[in-house]
Structure 1
Amino acid sequence: MTAIACNACALRKIRCNREQPCIYCKSKGMSCLYTRHQQKRGPKNLYPKTLRRIINQGPKSDKIISRERIEELLGLYEKYYYTIWPVVSANLIIENLESAEDNLSLDVACLISAVLLNQPSFVNSFYQSKLENPPKAVAYDLVLKTTKNLNDMSKRFLISENKVLCYYFLHVYYRSCQESNEMSKLYLREAITAAHILGLHDPATYDDMGKEEIHKKRKLYYLLFIAERYMALNCRLPLLLEASIPLPEISEEKDFHRIDGFLEIIKLVEIPSSDIYDLLSNRKSIVDQIELTRIIKEMHETFATKYSDCMSYLDIANISLYKCWIQAVLLKEAFIFFIRDPDNLNTYAIQMAQNFLNTITQIDPVFFEISDSGDYSFLNAILKFFKSVAGDTVELENSYELDVLRLIIKNCSNSSPNLWYTSIKSQITSNHVSEDIGL
């Protein structure tokens, strides 16, 4: 079949089926020849100004980022972020990219890339490739493109694990955009709804699956479980997910050390009972004081847990932030009504500060800034708690721990977390807190 009509059909201006011979010439017993050259369409002459306008306003390529850049970012995800979001095999996604132009694998890859590019500290520290546009602009364009694909009506109601992942990483992306909290909540609800449709919350769903598939789906479910509890404490949302299925098993992971931190976070967010989350979402007004005491004690015991030698710095930073943040939120918003003794509350604050700062002395501040939250909500909640406990001054006995607390409170208003961490780390490492420290 040729690209143009045969000579006879073109002369008669009738439709040609472009076969050899075509149906018209065959019916007439004529020779079917294709010696004619296709004529150029459009005006023969264009003014230079018109020609320039056509060139400048012509359709632009919709390729936002090259395939090589996506593969590079997936490699960085595998190296740094898999332990936090252990639900995507970068190697498998890369293998599927060749045939992924019209499926969700490419969308998942684009959204992971967008999440990483939207973090300035990550880009500056680990991503050395040059992009034609600023990384945040590239991230935004990738999100718009994948959102359009997800809203395609022919695919809108097709639910799959990749669809859940797309919604989840859209949630993470918007969570890191401080002005887009409502979008973040919306996409998390979309991910949870899709997970419910797939039955990831139901133990019976896993009955006929192999071990590898069970492990993969459990990790995806508990990723949403962690995210929902984060949003429940941060945005006062009611809970939809419960720990209704067994935890992922370390033995099923190829490199079991890579989900140590993930399992630790699950245990942390499980410590507050559903009643506590109900209290904070204003659906209940009474919580058993014995339960509150148990949670405080358990959080302190969990703080004493030693980190695995194989755990990455990003995992340690992430766990430390989660621990201190959960304690700060619960003490400030719920427990403070049950703790009548100010000295007792100050004791909790000092212990929290000491444990948290003992951790950050070991770690580069950038790992705190690129943690799972993707924003500074962890840090802000911790600082607000310290400030609510002690105000602008701490009128207690002099001690190194109290100096640490004063230092934190003094830097509450600082807008640069990197400088904040670096300054406090240097102070604590030297085992001396300067009286006139200020940023």
Structure 2
Amino acid sequence: MASNPTATAPVKRACDSCHRRKVKCIGEGTAPCKNCVSAGLACTYNAIPQKKGPKGSRAKVLSELRENQRNAQIAAGYPSDLGFDGRSLSATFARTPGLLAPGLVESCIDYFFAHVYPSEPVLHRQRAQEAAMNMDRSTEAYCAMVALCAYVMIKANMKVSPNVLPRPEMAQMSNVGIGHVLLEESVRVRQGYDYRENPTHLTVLTSWLYSGCYFGLARENTAWAYLRDATSQAHILGMHDEDTYKHDPMDISRKRVLYWLLFIAERNFALHKHRPISLYPTIHPPSLDEVPSDRPIAAGLELMINMYKIIDDTFVNLWNRIHTHANPAWIAQLQTQLAEAVPAYLDCTEAQAVEIRVTQHWLRAQAWQLCVTQGLVSSVTSDSPLTFKYPIEISRDLLTMTHQFSQQSMEVHGAGLIEKLFDVACCLTDVVAVTSFSPDAFALGPRDYVQRFLTLISTLRGGQSRYLPLLLAKLSEVLPNLPLPRSLNLPQGVSTSSIGLPGTGSPTVPSNVSDDFSAMAAATSPSYPSNDLIRRLAAQTGAQLPFNASQHSTYPAPTSHVEDLSLYDSSHSTTHSSGSVPRSTSATPGPYEPSMSQSRTQIVGHSTMQIPTSHPQHNHMQSHHAIQWTPT
């Protein structure tokens, strides 16, 4: 029988994935097509053919297909005998409708580039805007942008305009409260896809943002866990290898910045919480040459990097007590490096200058504590960093410097910068408590510096509720007779009578206290988990501890040469230590150059009342609870 000449072979239909990506489907019978095999996609024919529409980006479509199939596989992968309904999994990780209005995202991006970017240039504005536009199609972009919004609210003190909030009642919440809602949203949604197996630059950035947010909420263990996530993802991507940085300069420069910020954050945790380090200075510093206006930012960032390079394996191993003996020559060289790490004049933004200066003095104080643990501190040495009075010099330099900066430029760095101020204040308090000095009626002394730290920390957002109670508790234990400044702002829950102040002219609680950190730190200092430092100082100076010493330190105090313990004289108000910034040769200091003239009345106004020997602030601390969001 003759065949019908008009008969035609059946038209082969493209599989769902090839049709969605608009590529030629190369199928072989019933086997999956070559494109699906190559892309790791399921080859199906379930979609109903529709009319043709405009073509889209194949890369974006491929990413979306993989993500949707992963979510479907996860939801279907739970055995029914476990009593888990896989159908509810997608709802568990679903985005909250209407939570992130476009206006809110735009305002957060603008705030980030105006206030945070000069210190943390981890994103190009173009890339941030692309991620914002891609939020509807990409879970990774959505989580990153929500985390960015949370970050600028929690850490950088962004106040949200009510007209960009999804619900009117959110206008009554603090910026930290709104940021916490967004943070929990991002973390929850991110759990719905496998971001660990194939991380990207955006994956590392999101983990780093989470870490910063949780640190701002005083959840330091969670912050550390997310920082370790970020460093592990950075290792997977080869961000520690210089050969990785050979392609698109726009993205590569920001990856360099992110690597170095992780490098710095890891060392901060090592010094605060005795954590290990895993990142090393194995790549070049960022240049940011593709944007000429960013070059001063790159210069400031390189100063920060160079300071933290000094905190090497030798330092961290001694700090974490992995090694027990340090070379005195190495310690002396370390202090010299820190003293010379920052020039007298900084050509950078005010926010960068604050962070650089505070970090330098904080690292000097940390290195001095290492000297104490090694028994290298003496009252007869001519080397200032190895004397008992060195924290007094550091405090003088630090307080003189901070007097010149705006409150906004300090608060934009969040709790991390305040914690450094707090650490230096605690170190100074220990020195003042167990050593004698000769006060001068016409110059500021060590006790004045302690009072100035109280005033400074109480005025900074997050300092009043999180660190001031800890510092007051420490003072009540080791310096119970120290007068408090009249201008001191007390945190909520601490009555004026409980710290020995009269009702008239007593410290006041500012009206914006509700905008402060709602998360409270534990009732121990982050860097001072015990009284080891003061015990070592007392043992080395022969002084009596100002508190009950029935609980002895587990670390024996090394011996030191102690003769004259007079730590203060009038010359300190005009003479710099080797680690301080030299006086300007002009009548007016250069930008962000410390001024050395400051009257006693400018720095401290204090009452004659005293701190009691006990402090009840621990009873008033409240734990931070997650905030639930229910869409309308």
The TM-score range, normalised by the shorter chain, is 0.7 to 0.9
Change (3 A) 1:339 1:91: same
Higher relative contact order (CA 8 A, sep 6+): 2
In structure 2, list runs of 5 or more residues that go unmatched: 1-47, 51-93, 469-484, 489-594, 610-632
Aligned pair partner of 1:406 in 417, 422, 447? 447
What's the TM-score once normalised by structure 2's chain length? 0.54
* 2: CA distance, partners of 1:157 / 1:263: 32
Question: Residue 385 in 1 paired to residue 427 in 2?
Answer: yes
Aligned pair partner of 2:114 in 76, 79, 98? 79
Secondary structure of residue in 2 paired with 1:226: helix
Identity of aligned residues (%): 17
Cα displacement string for residues 329-359 of structure 1 (whole angstroms, at most 9, x for unaligned residues): 2212444534332475344223312322232
Say how many residue pairs are matched: 374
* 2: CA distance, partners of 1:201 / 1:157: 18
Aligned to 1:143: 183
* 2: CA distance, partners of 1:150 / 1:182: 20
2:271 counterpart letter in structure 1: L
1:225 counterpart letter in structure 2: F
* 2: CA distance, partners of 1:191 / 1:399: 52
* 1: CA distance, partners of 2:438 / 2:343: 25
RMSD: 3.3
1:437 counterpart letter in structure 2: H
Contact 1:160 1:198 in 2 (8 A): yes
* 2: CA distance, partners of 1:431 / 1:351: 17
* 1: CA distance, partners of 2:486 / 2:96: 43
Question: Residue 277 in 1 paired to residue 316 in 2?
Answer: yes
Contact 1:384 1:412 in 2 (8 A): no
Aligned to 2:356: 319
Secondary structure of residue in 2 paired with 1:376: helix
Change (3 A) 1:154 1:353: closer
**Which structure's residues are more often helix, by fraction?**
1
Cα displacement string for residues 65-105 of structure 1 (whole angstroms, at most 9, x for unaligned residues): 31111111111110111022111123432233222222322
Change (3 A) 1:348 1:69: same
What's the TM-score once normalised by structure 1's chain length? 0.76
* 1: CA distance, partners of 2:49 / 2:146: 41
Aligned to 1:201: 240
* 2: CA distance, partners of 1:154 / 1:300: 46
Cα displacement string for residues 102-161 of structure 1 (whole angstroms, at most 9, x for unaligned residues): 232232221121122124x7235xx55564421222211211111122212444533111
Q: After TM superposition, list the pairs within 5 Å mapping 1:203-352 onto structure 2.
A: 203-206=242-245, 208-255=246-293, 256-308=295-347, 311-335=348-372, 337-342=374-379, 344=384, 345-352=387-394
* 2: CA distance, partners of 1:228 / 1:276: 14
Contact 2:152 2:158 in 1 (8 A): yes
Question: Residue 432 in 1 paired to residue 467 in 2?
Answer: no
* 2: CA distance, partners of 1:378 / 1:355: 14
Cα displacement string for residues 352-372 of structure 1 (whole angstroms, at most 9, x for unaligned residues): 123222322221123223326
In structure 1, list runs of 5 or more residues that go unmatched: 1-16, 20-58
Aligned pair partner of 1:62 in 92, 97, 114? 97
* 2: CA distance, partners of 1:422 / 1:188: 40
Aligned to 2:140: 104
1:107 counterpart letter in structure 2: C
* 1: CA distance, partners of 2:330 / 2:194: 49
Change (3 A) 1:97 1:304: closer
2:253 counterpart letter in structure 1: H
Secondary structure of residue in 1 paired with 2:247: coil
Change (3 A) 1:422 1:436: closer
